[in-house]
Each structure stands twice: as structure tokens, then as C-alpha cells.
Amino acid sequence: MTHTRLQELLEDATQTGIFHLPESGRTAVRHAAEAAGMVCFEVSFADLTQIDAILSGLGRDLDFPEWYGKNFDALKDCLTDFSWCEAAGYVLIIAHAEALQRENPDRFHTLNQVFTAAIEEWREHDFPMWIFYDLRTNGLATLPTLT
């Protein structure tokens, strides 16, 4: 897959969603996103199983505004209003979510519902937002261009 083709895919809001991203594709996605004028955030949930710690970390790592309430509603609000970090689109790469998925599957599911709602809201405005996990789980496809 060429860098240009990956960049074009990331720019296409109709293709956005939550995907598995193999380690081998992380650098390519980051570079293609940056070339497209998108902001690429990378966060780690390393060994975190409590959603409070994860929501706090997301606020810190995504540089959310001071008013961020560290709950699911506030997360969605911030994910759909990046007025403090304007860009042509947003990519979020999440590493080490295995512990959350294993120990707190309901919260993992709710987190992904929030991500999906934000992605869909941006898609309605023809604006790309992507979420990538480094883990393999049911329901997460790999981008066809990276396989």
C-alpha cells in the first residue's frame, strides 16, 4: 500500500470506524494522517482496568480542556468538539487495552459505543475520525489496505 493511498483512505470520512491496527502499520498510519493535516493521538491503557483511570488518561493525552468531566458524556462532548485542536481529521491509536477488555468488558463496550457515536457524528459532517486498537478482538476489522 502506498503512502498516498493510505492518506486518501484516512481522508475519506465514509470509511471511518474502529479498527485493529497491527504494530507494523502504526508508523504508516501516523505519517499518512500527519500528511493529510490530521492530528494523530497515541495513548496507552497499559494494565488499566478501571474506566475512571482510562477516562482521566484520555483527557490528559488528548489535551482536553479544563472543563472535561472524566465521564462518558464528557468524553463524547470532547471527541466531537476539538475546537482547541483544529485539524483536517483525527486519529486515535490505543495501545494495551487488553486488561480493560478482559477485566471490565462492559466498560470496554461502552467506551467503544462512545467512540462510535463520535465517529458517526463527525461522519455526518464529512469529517474523518479514526480509532485504532493494537489488540485483536471480535468486531474489530483490520483496514484492508494494511493486511
What local confidence, expressed as pLDDT, does residue 29 receive?
95
How many whole angstroms separate alpha carbon 26 and alpha carbon 146? Answer: 10
Looking at residues 13-39, what average pLDDT do you find? 94
Give this prediction's pTM: 0.93
Structural domains in the chain, sorted by start? 3-11+18-137 (3.30.370.10)
Helix 51-61, helix 105-124: angle, nearest 10: 40
Give the per-residue pLDDT at 111: 97
Cβ contact 96:44 at 8 Å: yes
Over residues 103-115, the mean pLDDT reads 95
pLDDT digits (tens, 9 = 90+) for 44-77: 999 888 999 999 999 999 999 999 999 999 999 9
